[in-house]
Amino acid sequence: MTKILEVSNVTKRFGGLTAVNDVSFSVTRGEILSVIGPNGAGKSTLFKLISSFLPTTSGEVRLEGELINNLAPHIVARRGVVRTFQETTIFRSMTVRENIIVSHHLRSRASLWGFFIGSEIARTDEKEFGESADNIIEFLGLQAIRDEFASTLPQGHLRALGMAIGLATNPKVLLLDEPFAGMNHDETMNMVDLVRRLRDERGVTVLLVEHDMPAVMKISDRIVVLNFGEKIAEGTPLEIQNNERVIEAYLGSEDAAIGM
Amino acid sequence: MNKTKIAGVAAFLLVLYAVVPWGIAASGRTDFFYTLTSVALLSIASAGVWLTFYIGRINIGQGAYALAGGYVSAVLITQYGLSFWLTLPLAGLFCVLLAVLIGLPILRLRGVYFAMVTLVLTEVMRLTALALPITQGAKGITSIPLPGELSLFGITLIPDFASLENPKIGFYWMAVTFMVIAYAVLWRIVNSRLGHLCRSLQQNEELASSIGVNTAYLRVVAYSISSFFGGIAGASFIAISQSIYPSSFQVNDSVNFMLNCFLGGLGYVLGPMLGTLMLYFGWDLLFTTGKYQLLIYASLLIALMLALPNGVLSLFDKKKA
């Protein structure tokens, strides 16, 4: 089992506030790892640090041994770490298919000039993007809405579209930001299924931030727990459920109790 | 392109190159040549502004580039004796350079902040033209010779404008041709991957960068093309007026370039062209209303924007976004 992503001693301070404090963990290739914690524990900040949307104050993030923190988001994406967002973050005035096609940007070999004059490579690229987009649409079962404008879609579909956008970039590691938020039980189970298939059929390593405890327990190979910016536990779902520090952190918080 | 589109383009070209000149000749209203030439050139500058809208930035600074392009051409012609046809691309390239330098810092701004900075640009350019010795301050540069002959390998492509019986028609042909080329380029940009990426930028910059788009680079590219259009329009304009002053392009013009885009429609490549035509002629047609001209004009504009927020061209749009 090789480590694909390593987070070592990462710290982020905003002025006097330490949002993430000396957090270290690693992600194994092909696993689904969840980062959980009460509100304000620093989960989202950690995601932004890994995807270089924010610079780290100290510490290192390595992808396959290479440093990827403090770069620009588009460069980290090029290296293979792609962050998807909550459902509001899509290209609203494009159709589902257009959303997915434009997200193939990283795979294009032609230059912008090549696309402008319609060079041979550009046309091959366009053709491949179209085929790959149709492929992803089929994979996620979005055939019925492929030509709908994204702005007209209900939440469940938007979430799937967000994932499709992530997939189109052909990532090594996909960062999912609360993929189950606001979903009912059935929708959540569908999504759990989908994330598993991403890993099993497409070989994507998944790192996710989530509040929905039953879903997290069901889907994760391992879990990292943050509280007040510090890592307080790491382990399998079973270990986490029985960890005293974790139970303590969650007691009295608004979040759902830990359990299945 | 499907057949209807090809037919549409052919009809449009026919109107531009045959029907309009014939109509003007038949009616004897040769002053229309000048008006339509102006519309064609202004619509090129507006096309540039439209492209900045396409990446999600409100550009009220196109006048600055038109002025810069005009001065580059004027100085090169009068002081270095270059041919107008050579100064034209140089004016465009100078504006590209300017756009990169100015764009790098200011394109990080969004929304009203970017708009405000660009609004100031035109004024800065005017003051620069007033202050620099090479632009000859408020006196401006006058008596710029008409465009000379353009020949390639001994073959005359464009005759000397001074030898033309009616240079007005010559300018009309030139302006219309430039406009057709500019809009063909714009159409191609919008319908190639560059356009798709611009749209991704317009709709969600954060997501665009997370799918690997170098947003800062793309913004500068789009803004440079936009400014190139501005520079070309400005340089062509001074060839017609044969003079340029710091007040040749003012804040007012910059605002008009933006209004043209709004009025025609931000979602349509031909939007700025139609907008320019309507605004220009609308103003002229209202001339007879005397002191109420501005009042009626402004009220009509507001009414149009309220009724058709997506531009006049949205009237003909079947699909809805």
Helices first, then strands: H and E counts in chain B: 13, 2
Q: How far apart are CA A158 and CA B275, in angstroms?
A: 36
- ipTM score for this prediction: 0.80
Per-residue pLDDT tens over the stretch B4-55 = 888 888 888 988 888 888 888 888 887 888 889 999 999 999 999 999 999 9
| B226-243 core/surface letters (b: 16 or more CB in 10 A; e: else) | bbbbbbbbbbbbbbbeee
Model pLDDT, residue B320: 47
Least CA distance to A106: which residue of chain B? B212
Model pLDDT, residue B68: 95
Of the listed ranges A93-102, A152-161, B175-184, the least confidently predicted one is A152-161
Model pLDDT, residue B321: 44
Model pLDDT, residue B315: 82
Interface contact flag, B197 A102, Cβ < 8 Å: yes
Q: Is the C-alpha dihedral spanning B93, B95, B101, B103 positive or negative?
A: negative
Q: Residue B205: count other Cβ atoms within 10 Å of its Cβ.
A: 18
Interface contact flag, A108 B194, Cβ < 8 Å: no
Interface contact flag, B193 A115, Cβ < 8 Å: yes
What residues in A contact B186, CB-CB < 8 Å?
none
CB contact set of A65 (below 8 Å; sequence gap of 6+): none
Q: How far apart are CA B257 and CA B275, in angstroms?
A: 9
What residues in B contact A105, CB-CB < 8 Å?
197, 211-213
Model pLDDT, residue B218: 93
Scan residues 49-88 of A and list those with Cβ closer than 8 Å to B.
51, 53, 72-74, 77-78, 82-85
Model pLDDT, residue A260: 41
**CATH class for the domain made up of A1-80+171-260:** alpha beta
Residues A23, A7: contact at Cβ < 8 Å? yes
What residues in A contact B214, CB-CB < 8 Å?
72, 74
- Block residue for tokens 């039953």: A214
Q: What is the mean pLDDT of chain A?
A: 87
Domain ranges of chain A: 1-80+171-260, 92-168
Q: What angle do CA B76, B82, B83 make, to 5 degrees?
A: 120
Find the chain B residues whose C-beta atoms sit closer than 8 A to any C-beta of A. 188-189, 192-194, 196-197, 199-200, 203-204, 206-207, 209-215, 221, 321
CA of B191 vs chain A CAs: smallest distance (Å): 9
By three-state DSSP, how is residue A91 classified?
A: coil
Q: Is the pLDDT of residue A73 over 60?
A: yes
Domain ranges of chain B: 29-250
- Find the mean pLDDT for residues A87-108: 85
Residue A54 DSSP label? S
Interface contact flag, A90 B188, Cβ < 8 Å: no
Residues B73, B88: contact at Cβ < 8 Å? yes
| B10-36 core/surface letters (b: 16 or more CB in 10 A; e: else) | eeeeeebeeebbeebeeeeeeebbebb
Least CA distance to B185: which residue of chain A? A116
Interface contact flag, B206 A74, Cβ < 8 Å: no
Least CA distance to A76: which residue of chain B? B212
CA of B185 vs chain A CAs: smallest distance (Å): 9
Interface contact flag, B200 A151, Cβ < 8 Å: no
Task: Give chain B's residues under pLDDT 50.
Answer: 320-321
Interface contact flag, B193 A73, Cβ < 8 Å: no
pLDDT band, residue A1 (cuts 50/70/90): low
Residue A105 sits at the chain B interface (C-beta within 8 Å)? yes
What residues in B contact A151, CB-CB < 8 Å?
321
Interface contact flag, A102 B211, Cβ < 8 Å: yes
Distance in angstroms between the alpha carbons of the first and the last residue of chain A: 28
Nearest to B233 by CA among B175, B285, B273: B175
Instruction: Select from B210, B268, B310 the residue whose CB has the most chain A CBs within 10 Å, as the one to mutate to test that interface.
Output: B210
Per-residue pLDDT tens over the stretch A120-150 = 888 888 899 999 999 999 888 888 898 989 8
Least CA distance to B214: which residue of chain A? A74
- Find the mean pLDDT for residues A69-88: 85
CB contact set of B92 (below 8 Å; sequence gap of 6+): B69, B228, B229, B231, B232, B235
Q: Is the C-alpha dihedral spanning A162, A167, A169, A175 positive or negative?
A: positive
Q: Residue B74: count other Cβ atoms within 10 Å of its Cβ.
A: 28
Interface contact flag, B194 A149, Cβ < 8 Å: no
Q: Residue B75: count other Cβ atoms within 10 Å of its Cβ.
A: 20
Model pLDDT, residue A251: 64
Number of A/B CB contacts below 8 angstroms equals 83
Quick one: which H or E segment has residue B48?
helix B31-54
